[in-house]
Amino acid sequence: MAPALDLPYEIRNVTPEEDKLIKKCVIGHTKPFVKCGKKGYVMPGAFRNHARAIHDMEVRPDDVWVITFPRSGTTWTQEMVWLLENNLDYAAARNTPLFERFPMLEISSMVPEMAIELIKADFLNLASFQGLNKAVRVQSWESIDKAPSPRFIKTHLPLSLLPPDLLDKAKVIYVARDPRDIAVSYYYLHKMVGKTLYRASFKNFWNVFKKDLLPWTPVVTHNNEAWSQRHNKNLHFVFYEDMIKDLRKVIHGMCHFLGRNYLDEQINTLADHLSFDSLRKNKNVNNTTDGNNNIQFIRKGEAGGWVTHFDQEMRDEANDYLSTRLCGLDLRYPSYNEDHIECSRL
């Protein structure tokens, strides 16, 4: 790796009150959470010790990165991209878990301090989730740094916390999703991983989410960093809702971005492979931690499902949350087409 540089952004602890709110929804962490940079991206305290290595990581010109906020179609996109870049080798995909083919850059930073020994002992199948067993033994970015090319890298970090030459060198796919649907799916992810130890209700979770106090938030700011780079030749911006609406069209667009050519019949076969019914049955993709758990890592694959989880008060809060954060931006979510964005509350 290149010599370490001083970080161009500040990392500071959240307030004690904020830390208490976060830890009601994100269990197992003992260190205070932190906010990173001027935009205040929330991360576990361990990230303080890892940020520089990630920022200084060497980017290779044949890297392919998938960047998303959590629960925005990350796994779906990873499987699509890996297969397109590997000549639709379904046999190889079946033989190797997705987290090995397409590892997560910062996952070692996300492991709760209280969970490390449990992961090593494979408590409740936690070691098999996203390759956590390896991530608690070897720093994830070190494994990626030593991996042979071409590398496929997943991250939930925003562009501003990643290597500054990323878009100058590598191909980057960014997927954004309506934050209201993200909130629901993100909650169920925490319930799946925390199992019976998880006590927060969805209303409590939403209360922290809307304050931009969960890991990797603020989500709209995260999305907008990529949206503002959407014309960069090395960044391909996709909305999750468009993948739901017309997956084959999205696959064609991805092929164009990656410089890959496939027959329509091959595209159709890939689209069938990427259907949610297929992905749920695919153990190398569906990272559900317990076969008897009724909460699946690959959930419903829908847009607009948030309405069944929000009461009227929460719907009003969600509208205020979005209209306030979208004020002054040209970013709009396909499922949130408000003609007038309320800016008076800023």
Q: Which amino acid is at 47?
A: F
pLDDT in tens, 246-293: 999 999 999 999 999 999 999 999 999 998 787 766 555 655 445 445
* pLDDT computed for residue 340 by the predictor: 54
First to last CA, the chain: 43
Mean pLDDT along residues 303-315: 92
Quick check: bond before 163 cis, omega within 30? no
Alpha carbon distances (Å) from 343 to 102, 189, 316? 40, 32, 15
pLDDT in tens, 200-238: 999 999 999 999 999 999 999 999 999 999 999 999 999
Question: Would you say 253 and 82 are in contact if contact means Cβ atoms under 8 Å apart?
Answer: no
- Report d(CA 55, CA 53) in Å as an integer: 6
Strand ranges, E, within 9-138: 11-13, 34-36, 41-43, 64-68
Please give the DSSP secondary-structure letter assigned to residue 338.
-
Q: Which residues pair with 67 in a beta bridge?
A: 155, 174
**What pTM was computed for the model?**
0.89
* pLDDT computed for residue 81 by the predictor: 98
Indicate if the pLDDT at residue 341 is higher than 90. Answer: no
pLDDT band at 136 (very low <50, low <70, confident <90, very high): low
- Output the six-digit token pair for 200: 């927060």
Other CB atoms within 10 A of residue 59 CB: 18
- Report d(CA 171, CA 64) in Å as an integer: 5
Contacts of 233 (CB under 8 A, 6+ apart): none
DSSP string of 75-86, one letter each residue: HHHHHHHHHHHT
* pLDDT computed for residue 5 by the predictor: 44
Percentage of the chain modeled with pLDDT above 70: 82
Could you give the domains of the chain?
11-326 (3.40.50.300)
Strand ranges, E, within the chain: 11-13, 34-36, 41-43, 64-68, 152-155, 171-176, 235-239
SS3 184: helix
For the chain, what is the radius of gyration of the CA atoms?
19
User: Which helix (H) or strand (E) covers residue 320, if one does?
Assistant: helix 312-326
- Output the six-digit token pair for 136: 């608690």
Return the top range by mean pLDDT from 101-110, 121-130, 137-146, 229-238. Answer: 229-238
pLDDT band at 346 (very low <50, low <70, confident <90, very high): very low
Q: Name the average pLDDT for the chain.
A: 87
Return the top range by mean pLDDT from 60-64, 192-196, 296-300. Answer: 60-64
Percentage of the chain modeled with pLDDT above 90: 71
Mean pLDDT along residues 113-132: 52
* pLDDT computed for residue 297 by the predictor: 42
So which residues are the catalytic ones?
A: 156
